[in-house]
Amino acid sequence: MDAAGSQVADECAQYAGQYQSGFITTRGGNLRCSKIIHLITDNQVKSQVSKVLYECERRMYKSVAFPAIGTGQGGQSSAKVADEMLDAVVEFARQKSVQHLQTIKIVIFQTNMLTDFYESMKKRQDSDSSTMEAWVSMFKYLLGGSKQSSEKKKLMVLEKKVDLVTFQICGESQEKVDATESWIKDLILKEQFENTVSDEAIGSFDATQIAILEDLQRGNQVTIQLLNKLSPPQIKISGISRDVCSVSLEVQDMIQKIKSTEEKQSKAELLHNLVEWRYPGSNGSFVPFDKLTNMQLERAKMAKNLHLNVKIKTKNFKVDLNTLKATDDQGKTIKLQRVIKDEGK
């Protein structure tokens, strides 16, 4: 109150007893803000924070800064206050009707309180993904992660919307502020991990694989970069250690499926050069099966299987591999051809 100046104290005296909803609002006085919302202490921290947030939204304020409410003369534990304040912020942020309030700051002076707020946010990584996304974005802010890399690479960062949260660190001296920032960075680094997967098969990723990567990014606390212009192409995954590991395994599985598909297509191409299966087309002509179906038919015959189910023009057919006759679900039968190609000609 002393820093705000006498005019703020005079306003408080003027409005004393006239407060509504547990607070009164005055001008900012000598402080670098337009308004000050003065709370009437009742130890209901979550309720008080919620009231202030909705009041700010109602008045179309764009930002608000809170102290650790109730930890001074209120005598409440900083861990309890952290949980209640963050619960209020998360519930407010979930409201689709919020349009004006964009920045919510919590100003913490004591290092031990910073630990409690950190632990409170950390607990939410399983129960509230949006909170953790904001926490991760704060990590990047503190570590200077928003700076652009000077290395010129062709890369694609899958779009991920995060809400930025900024914690301001205040202290008795610059030395103590720097020490606290260093301590925060150490905590952040313990939670962060990065893994790079390199494989030529990544260059074959199409819209289907990109969509899977986007889903993985949305469902986990990671950022995925697709460096498909490098040799070999790379996928860089960074974020919470646990999620980086699980997403990396998913990416490896995607790569293996691509390789399996390419290997199967290569074998189908080779076999198609030796044997070609055909089904009746129009005007007495015969049409070659696609190469994968061609391979399935030939392998089934070589294995001396009796039958194989295939699709011909979207219809299901059961092929008799001895008579080379195919019968559809309505009992209609057609004759297939199996042509051995002469490579000597």
Domain definitions of the chain by residue range: 6-191, 273-340
Give bridge partners of residue 35 from the DSSP assignment.
27
Shared fold status for 6-191 and 273-340: no
Report d(CA 225, CA 157) in Å as an integer: 5
Q: Which uninterrupted H or E stretch holds 117?
A: helix 111-127
Give the separation between CA 271 and CA 294, rounded to whole angstroms.
Answer: 8
Q: How far is CA 37 from CA 12, 24, 29, 55, 211, in A?
A: 10, 6, 12, 9, 46
pLDDT higher than 70, residue 166 = no
pLDDT tops 70 at residue 344: no
Whose CA is closest to 81, among 72, 64, 69, 92?
Answer: 69
Please report which confidence band the pLDDT of residue 77 belongs to, taking 50, 70 and 90 as the band edges: confident
At 165 the pLDDT is 53
The CATH classification number of 6-191 equals 3.40.220.10
DSSP-derived letter for residue 108 is: B
The CATH class, in words, for 273-340 is alpha beta
CA distance 160 to 215: 10
Confidence of residue 193 (pLDDT cuts 50, 70, 90): confident
What pLDDT sits at residue 20? 62
pLDDT for the residue 289: 95
Kindly tell me the sign of the dihedral angle through the C-alpha atoms of 298, 304, 308, 278.
Answer: positive
pLDDT at 291: 93
Q: Quick one: what percent of the chain has pLDDT higher than 90?
A: 30
Return the structure tokens found at 215.
């889903």
Determine the 3-state secondary structure of 224 from DSSP: strand
- Helical H runs in 192-240? 207-219
Question: What does the pLDDT average to over 286-302?
Answer: 94
Is the per-residue pLDDT at 338 higher than 50? yes
One-letter amino acid of 135: W
Please tell me whether the overall predicted TM-score, pTM, comes out greater than 0.75 for this model.
Answer: no
Whole-number Å distance between alpha carbons of 278 and 31: 84
Buried b (16+ CB within 10 A) or exposed e, 107-144: ebeeeebbbbbbebbeebbeebeebbbbbbbbbbebee
The span from the CA of 220 to the CA of 242, in Å, is 9
Q: Which residue has the higher pLDDT, 342 or 304?
A: 304
Q: Tell me: the pLDDT tens digits for 219-273?
A: 888 889 988 888 899 999 988 888 899 999 999 999 999 999 889 999 999 999 9
Give me the chain's average pLDDT, please. 81
pLDDT-derived band at 136, boundaries 50, 70, 90 = very low
Confidence of residue 176 (pLDDT cuts 50, 70, 90): confident
Q: Is the pLDDT of residue 191 over 80?
A: no
pLDDT band (50, 70, 90) for residue 297: very high
Q: Is the pLDDT of residue 184 over 60?
A: yes
Burial call 1-31: b when 16+ CB within 10 Å, e when fewer: eeebeeebeebbeeeeeeeeeeebebeebee
